[in-house]
Structure formats: C-alpha cells, structure tokens
Amino acid sequence: MTDTIEVTIDAVGARGDGLARAPDGTALFVPFTVPGDRVRVRSGQARAGGAVAEVVELLAAGSERVAARCAHYADCGGCSLQHWSDAAVLEWKRGEVRAALAHRALETAVAPTLATPPGERRRARLAVRRDGDAIALGFRARASRRVVPVGRCPVLAPGLQMLLVPLREFASAMLRSDEEAQFELTQTEGGVDLVIERARRPGADVVSAAAAFARAHRLARVSWRADSAGDADLVVRQAAAEVVFGGVPVEIPAGAFIQASPAAEAALVGEVRAATAKARRVADLFAGCGAFTFPLALHARVHAVESNAAAVAAIAAAASGRSGVSVTAEVRDLERRPLMADELAKYDAVVLDPPRPGARAQAEALAKSAVRTVAYVSCDMGTFARDARLLVDGGYVLQRVVPVDQFLWSAHVELVGVFTKETRRR
Ligand SMILES: C[S@@+](CC[C@H](N)C(=O)[O-])C[C@H]1O[C@@H](n2cnc3c(N)ncnc32)[C@H](O)[C@@H]1O
C-alpha cells in the first residue's frame, strides 16, 4: 500500500478539484475537497502539472464544506461540487472566468454568477447496462465507463426524474446481457422526447415495447440512433416534441441541442436581449433550434445560421406564417464559412453561441467588421477568452461578462460576454 501524507487544501482548480502541495513540492489535485480542508491523502495517477490524490481521511473540514444533497454523490460522476457551499461555488466560477480572461490579458467587469435552481435539468443522457438480469441505469462514474445506478437525482426536472425507475424495466426488454445503451431524454411541451442510442437497430419487439412505454408514460416521441454522431430514426411519435422560444413553439429534431436548464436559458436570453435591445437587424450564429432567435425576433429582424440542417428546418417551420415574426434561417458551417465583413455589414448586432471549441474563424471575421454589438454566449471560458482577444484586437471593447451556473454542482461555467465597437459606418 502506498504511503499517505497530510496536506491542507489551498484552493480549488479549474476542474473543481482541491489543490494542495505535497511536502516534496508536488502539486496535488484532490477531488471532493474545499479550501481549508486538512486531509490525509494517497497520491495516485500523474496529471499534467502534478498528481491526483485520493482522500483517505478528512482530518478537519474547511469552513465552506457542506453535506452533499444526493445519496449517490462521489460515486456518480454527474456532480463534483456538492460538498462545497453554493455561495462559494458561484464565487469560484466567477473567479475562474476572471482568470481565463486575465490569461488573455483581458480586463472587464465580471458580474456575480447567476444561480439556477436544482430539480430543473430538462436534458439528460443516462447510461444503461445489463449484466444477467441486473440492470444498472444512471450516470457514468467519474473518469470511468462504469454505470452508477441512480434512483433519484436532485438535478433532474420532475418529468425526467419520474422516468428513472420505469426506464430500467424498459431497458430489460431491450438489452441482452453484457449490452449497454444510452437514453437521451429531453423534456418538451408534448412530453419527454427519448432517443435510444444502441448499436443494434431495434427489432419489432423493441418497437412494440417502446410504443407501450411511450403510451404509459406519455412520451412525445421515441427515436433510435446507432451512436451519438448518427441521425436519429423515428420509432414512435405520440405528440409534437415542442419547446417554446420567445413565445414560438418549435418542434425540435430528435437529439437536438437545447439549453439544459430553462432558468439558465432565461438568464442567457435576458442578457443577450438587453445587450441587443437597440438592434433592428440581428444575426444569430450557432442558432440551434432558435433559443435566441425567437426572443430576439420580439424586437428585431433575425437571421439564424446553424450547421445542423434539421435544426434550421425546425426554425424555418416554426417561423413560417407567423405574423410579426421576421426570421430567416440558413444552413452553414461557420468554422469553414464564417459570415464575412460584407455580409456582417447588414447587422446591428451579432449573437453567437458556439460549441466548446469556440468560434475562431467567425471571431476573426467579426474583428474586421463594423458590427456594433456582439453578444457571445459560451460554455467554455478558455475558447471564449481566445475569441474575445481576437475581437478586442479588432477594436471591440469587452463591456461585461456574466457567468451563469447552468450545470449545477459541476465545474462547468456558461457565460455571456458583451462587446461593442464604435464605428463611423452610419
Ligand atoms: C451551444 S449550441 C447553441 C445552440 C443555440 N444557440 C441554443 O442556445 O440552443 C451550439 C450550436 O452550434 C452548432 N454548430 C456546431 N458547429 C457548428 C459550425 N461549425 N457551424 C455552425 N453551427 C455549428 C451546433 O449544431 C449547435 O446547435
């Protein structure tokens, strides 16, 4: 057995692990600790810049340590910060955003992190595995493929929570021993939209089990896809899988991106609308199914651009024939073919909300443009700061950044950054 050492946690690092120094100077990343904790740890796997260490004994608790809200905490990999007070986590997230900006020599006002409540996550990806007659349904363990069975999850919205137990029964009709699948659940107005991700195409038995399950639990739709990169095929449809954006119902494609929490979406939309309130022509880039498009269309003409053709079709169908909603939509890969300065000249404001790799090509093009306001929504502060640097070097002023705690009790941070440029264009 490896020796243990006693250390004090000095801070929490970017991935949410406590940071300490071993007596020999090695930096230690200690999961599930808070600043001020005195812990006995066993050092393990090397990690860039140091080593991961596991707590063997909590000797004295830091003042911000709290009891976890979930019985599965620490085994389930879904949450990693339940042991730290909510106020401390929110302030830590704000500090992480400041640090990411400072890393790119950017200074601006970073607002206090906007909190979101538990029990309202409307999208979840559950793993399910069968071993003999035993079905494990839940989330993967931290840094592992192991499925941790979860009966209750304080993060999930009630409509998803209610399905955890019935889904296990449905899984038993669907899986062979030693087989795994994923269930992707999205709460919509028409009921839960379920995507079954399993390598084997469903046979007649699974189709009829899915139909019975959908009827019994009032699901909107069940689809199947072989893997997360593939398109989903419809298995059963009972109701329109609609989500309402800016008062407009949008029938979302199976497995499409929507913001995970309605409260976080409302906070992001509020910030984006406030930043673009004076704009009359807005481009909504990386538009998804229109979470920003339709709220923006309450005060502006909006052009939505997105690479997912089904999402663009959903926006176009929702906008079609609605009086007072001036929305156009375009399928386009913005990494390969960003909107260039001549196209951008049509807009008073641009909203962009790229995936984690960010929007380098579009930021480079925006930097050369005369668009007055850019509202940049991001789920990755590192790529946000990289793109923000490009915009600032192109003459934009980063007016403010607002972090949003969309992914409760995890190290993820969502944010909105608002940029403006004074131009002599008009
Ligand atoms: C973080 S989501 C935001 C979606 C939407 N704004 C929302 O809030 O629901 C990012 C979106 O960018 C799209 N996307 C990813 N890569 C893209 C690319 N290269 N060009 C255009 N859109 C892309 C994805 O399909 C996804 O809908």
CATH of the domain at 43: 2.40.50.140
Q: Using a 6 Å cutoff on CB, does residue 258 contact ligand 1?
A: yes
Residues 391 and 314 in one domain: yes
Q: Does the pTM exceed 0.85?
A: yes
Q: Using a 6 Å cutoff on CB, does residue 120 contact ligand 1?
A: no
Minimum CA distance residue for ligand 1 atom 13: 286
Residues 202 and 146 in one domain: yes
Q: Using a 6 Å cutoff on CB, does residue 334 contact ligand 1?
A: yes
Ligand 1 atom index nearest CA of 289: 9
User: Which domain-ending residue is among 29, 49, 64?
Assistant: 64
For residue 74, tell me if it sits in a domain.
no
Minimum CA distance residue for ligand 1 atom 12: 286
* Domain span at 153: 123-188+190-239
* Given 79, 153, 289, 379, the catalytic residue: 379
- At residue 176's C-alpha, the angle toward residues 138 and 147, to 5°, is 20
Question: Do 110 and 401 meet the contact criterion of CB atoms below 8 Å apart?
Answer: yes
Residues 97 and 178 in one domain: no
Q: Using a 6 Å cutoff on CB, does residue 26 contact ligand 1?
A: no
Q: At what angle do helices 381-393 and 86-103 cross, to 10 degrees?
A: 40
Residues 265 and 413 in one domain: yes
Whose tokens are 């243990």? That residue is 4
How many whole angstroms from 287 Cα to the centroid of ligand 1?
Answer: 6
Give residue 43's pLDDT. 86
How many whole angstroms from 262 Cα to the centroid of ligand 1?
Answer: 18
Give residue 143's pLDDT. 86
Residues 323 and 413 in one domain: yes
Q: Using a 6 Å cutoff on CB, does residue 335 contact ligand 1?
A: yes
Distance CA 191, CA 214 (A): 9
- The predicted-structure confidence for 122-155, as pLDDT tens digits, reads as follows 999 999 999 999 999 999 999 899 999 999 999 9
Whose tokens are 């596991």? That residue is 54
Question: Do 194 and 223 meet the contact criterion of CB atoms below 8 Å apart?
Answer: yes
Ligand 1 atom index nearest CA of 293: 6
Question: Do 106 and 376 meet the contact criterion of CB atoms below 8 Å apart?
Answer: no
On average, the pLDDT of the chain sits at 96
Q: Using a 6 Å cutoff on CB, does residue 253 contact ligand 1?
A: no
How many whole angstroms from 155 Cα to the centroid of ligand 1?
Answer: 24
How many whole angstroms from 308 Cα to the centroid of ligand 1?
Answer: 8
Residues 382 and 275 in one domain: yes
Minimum CA distance residue for ligand 1 atom 6: 287
Distance CA 171, CA 191 (A): 19
Give the three-state DSSP class for 234: strand
Ligand 1 atom index nearest CA of 379: 1
Give residue 424's pLDDT. 64
For residue 220, tell me if it sits in a domain.
yes
For residue 70, tell me if it sits in a domain.
no
Taking 90 as the threshold, does the pLDDT of residue 360 lie above it?
Answer: yes
Cβ-based neighbour number of residue 333 at 10 Å: 11
Distance CA 94, CA 88 (A): 10
Residues 40 and 168 in one domain: no
- The predicted-structure confidence for 49-106, as pLDDT tens digits, reads as follows 899 999 999 999 999 999 999 999 999 999 999 999 999 999 999 999 999 999 999 9
Give residue 2's pLDDT. 62
How long a stretch of residues is the chain? 426
How many whole angstroms from 252 Cα to the centroid of ligand 1?
Answer: 14
Please, which pLDDT band fits residue 295 given cuts at 50, 70 and 90? very high
How many whole angstroms from 103 Cα to the centroid of ligand 1?
Answer: 26
For residue 8, tell me if it sits in a domain.
yes
Bridge-based pairing of strands 349-352 and 373-378 is parallel
Encode 358-373: b = buried (16+ Cβ within 10 Å), e = exposed. Answer: bbebbbbbbbebbbbb
379 classed as catalytic: yes
Hey, CA dihedral for 136, 138, 139, 142, is it positive or negative? negative
Give the three-state DSSP class for 350: strand
Residues 385 and 273 in one domain: yes
Tokens linked to 210: 């899915």
| Nearest residue to 246 (alpha-carbon basis) of 322, 174, 173 | 322
Ligand 1 atom index nearest CA of 334: 20
Tokens linked to 37: 């904790």
Long-range contact pairs involving 260-263 (C-beta distance under 8 Å, separation at least 24): 260/121, 260/122, 260/123, 260/406, 260/407, 261/116, 261/120, 261/121, 261/122, 261/406, 261/408, 262/120, 262/122, 263/116, 263/117, 263/120
How many whole angstroms from 329 Cα to the centroid of ligand 1?
Answer: 13
- DSSP, residue by residue, 235-299: EEE-S--EEEETTEEEEPPTT----S-HHHHHHHHHHHHHHTTT-SEEEEES-TTTTTHHHHTTT
For residue 195, tell me if it sits in a domain.
yes
Residues 139 and 209 in one domain: yes
Percentage of the chain with pLDDT > 90?
Answer: 94
Percentage of the chain with pLDDT > 70?
Answer: 99
Question: Do 292 and 305 meet the contact criterion of CB atoms below 8 Å apart?
Answer: no
Distance CA 423, CA 41 (A): 57
Bridge-based pairing of strands 281-285 and 349-352 is parallel
- The predicted-structure confidence for 365-387, as pLDDT tens digits, reads as follows 999 999 999 999 999 999 999 99
Question: Do 194 and 166 meet the contact criterion of CB atoms below 8 Å apart?
Answer: no
Burial class (CB in 10 A: 0-12, 13-18, 19+), 171: buried
CATH of the domain at 347: 3.40.50.150
Q: Using a 6 Å cutoff on CB, does residue 259 contact ligand 1?
A: yes
For residue 73, tell me if it sits in a domain.
no
How many whole angstroms from 172 Cα to the centroid of ligand 1?
Answer: 35
For residue 72, tell me if it sits in a domain.
no
Substitution site in 268, 307, 330, 415 for ligand 1 pocket (most atoms within 8 Å of beta carbon) = 307
Ligand 1 atom index nearest CA of 311: 27
Residues 96 and 156 in one domain: no
Please, which pLDDT band fits residue 180 given cuts at 50, 70 and 90? very high
Q: Using a 6 Å cutoff on CB, does residue 315 contact ligand 1?
A: no
Give residue 123's pLDDT. 97
Question: What is the mean predicted confidence (pLDDT) over 1-7?
Answer: 82
Residues 319 and 391 in one domain: yes
Number of domains in the chain: 3
Minimum CA distance residue for ligand 1 atom 5: 288
Encode 212-224: b = buried (16+ Cβ within 10 Å), e = exposed. Answer: ebbeebebbbbbb
Give the three-state DSSP class for 193: strand
Distance CA 232, CA 202 (A): 12
Distance CA 360, CA 402 (A): 21
Residues 283 and 141 in one domain: no
Please, which pLDDT band fits residue 423 given cuts at 50, 70 and 90? confident
Taking 50 as the threshold, does the pLDDT of residue 426 lie above it?
Answer: no
Substitution site in 257, 276, 381, 416 for ligand 1 pocket (most atoms within 8 Å of beta carbon) = 257
How many whole angstroms from 288 Cα to the centroid of ligand 1?
Answer: 5
Ligand 1 atom index nearest CA of 335: 19
Please, which pLDDT band fits residue 1 given cuts at 50, 70 and 90? very low
For residue 250, tell me if it sits in a domain.
no
Taking 50 as the threshold, does the pLDDT of residue 338 lie above it?
Answer: yes
